[in-house]
Each structure stands twice: as structure tokens, then as C-alpha cells.
Chains A and B, each alone.
Chain A
Amino acid sequence: NAGVTQTPKFQVLKTGQSMTLQCAQDMNHNSMYWYRQDPGMGLRLIYYSASEGTTDKGEVPNGYNVSRLNKREFSLRLESAAPSQTSVYFCASSSTSGFTNEQFFGPGTRLTVL
């Protein structure tokens, strides 16, 4: 079991470039999430997907789009990167069965926008 995997681990972009962050989980979880982590601000939710075929905005969705490609994969796209999107991005997943509500996190992607 790989758990939650993210690619790439590091990325440098120029302002205006686009890119997609990939996330996959092999735990058969229904729910998946994208967070960003900035110094002094903890993790903030960008988008989430409660189940395959659904996506919803989180706290800071502006400048991002997501795709729940299938049950395993949830991608985050930056259409026109801005320096304010320099951050560490985490993908997470959780199961809707049972009542532990634990989220499992990927290793993160450090993104720098110049």
C-alpha cells in the first residue's frame, strides 16, 4: 500500500504558466482533499471531493481548478500561476465508512512561482 502519492515533489514556475498537481490514493477512500500550507497559517482547504463525480470549493479556491478523474485520482490545476500561489500543497483522502474520520496525507508538493 503506497497510501497517498503526489507528483511532483518540487516545481518552479514562472508567473502565468500553468501546471497540474497529481494525487492518487490506493485505500479505496471516497473523499479526497487539496490543502495549501503557508508559513504561520496552517493548512487551508482549497477544494475537496466527497465522492467520485463531485467537487466543492473550500476556504481558498480562487485561482485553482480540480478534477476527480476517478475514485483513486484527484488533480489540482493552476491555469495561470501567480507568486501568491507559492506554497506547499498537500493532498489527503478519507473514508466515509466507519467513524474515525481520519485523513491520510500525501508527502506534499513544494511549488515556487517566480
Chain B
Amino acid sequence: AQTVTQSQPEMSVQEAETVTLSCTYDTSESNYYLFWYKQPPSRQMILVIRQEAYKQQNATENRFSVNFQKAAKSFSLKISDSQLGDTAMYFCAHAGLFGNEKLTFGTGTRLTIIP
């Protein structure tokens, strides 16, 4: 079974600074997907970024980027030029390669951006 571990329950950073959220996972599969989801106070789950394990290039989406280390089973999220709207819970998640694969979530990191 897959497991996903987020070792930072809470983090805070000044507005405009860069912050990195950590995630490690365990899987016996060689190909899979990894995700970062954002959950603001509205409770809505929002996909931030996705990484396919068979791609060596790290995914980027505007101010969000990942550092994917397949051998180390590490998948960290970097938020550059942080904004007040980035304040949220962030969940790392793993899923198998095919479209009906269920997600395994980490326990989340509560990120607060300080004005």
C-alpha cells in the first residue's frame, strides 16, 4: 500500500518570500502520479500541481514548482513570491497511473503567509 508523509504540520512565511513544503512517499510502483492540492478556508480542494513519475523534468505552474526526487521518493513544493492568498492547507497525494486510481493523501501542512 502507498503511504504519503508530510512532516511539517504548520509553516509560516513572510509575504513575498519563498517557502518549501516537504513530502515523502512510499510505493512499489514504478510509474505513478504525485499531486499537491491546496485547501483554503473555503474548504474547496484545488489542484496546484501534478507530476508524472515517468517524467524527469520537474513540473512548474507559475509561482509553484516541485522538486521531484524519484529515487529518494521525495516530492517537495516550492512557492515563490508568496502571496496572502496562498494561506491554506496543502496536501501531497499519490495515485496510480490509470484514470480510476484512488488518491492517497498526506496529513497536510498548514501554511500561513504573514503580511
Name A residues whose Cβ lies closer than 8 Å to a Cβ of B: 30-31, 33, 35, 40-45, 48, 50-51, 58, 88, 90, 92, 94-103, 105, 107-108, 110
CA distance A94 to B100 in the complex (A): 7
CB distance from A7 to the nearest CB of B (A): 15
Are the C-beta atoms of A48 and B105 separated by less than 8 Å? no
Given contacts A99-B52, A101-B98, 4 further A-B contacts (CB under 8 A): A41-B107, A43-B103, A44-B105, A101-B99
Residues of B within 8 A of A43 (CB): 45, 91, 103, 105
Number of interface residues of B (CB under 8 A): 26
- Complex partner residue of A101 from B43, B101, B105, B106, CB under 8 angstroms: B101
**Residues in A whose Cβ lies below 8 Å from that of B43:** 88, 107-108, 110
Find out whether the CB atom of B107 lies under 8 angstroms from the CB atom of A50.
no
Contact across chains for A99 and B97 when beta carbons are under 8 A apart? yes
A42 to B100, CA, bound (A): 20
Are B99 and A98 neighbours in the complex by a CB distance under 8 Å?
Answer: yes
How does the 8 Å CB contact mask read for B93-115 relative to A, with 1 for contact and 0 for none? 00111111111111110000000
**Known interface pairs A40-B107, A41-B107, A42-B91; A102-B102 also in contact (CB < 8 Å):** no
B84 at the interface (CB under 8 A from A): no
- Across-interface contacts of A31 in B (CB, < 8 A): 99-100
Known contacts A101-B95, A102-B47, A42 near B101 by CB under 8 Å: no
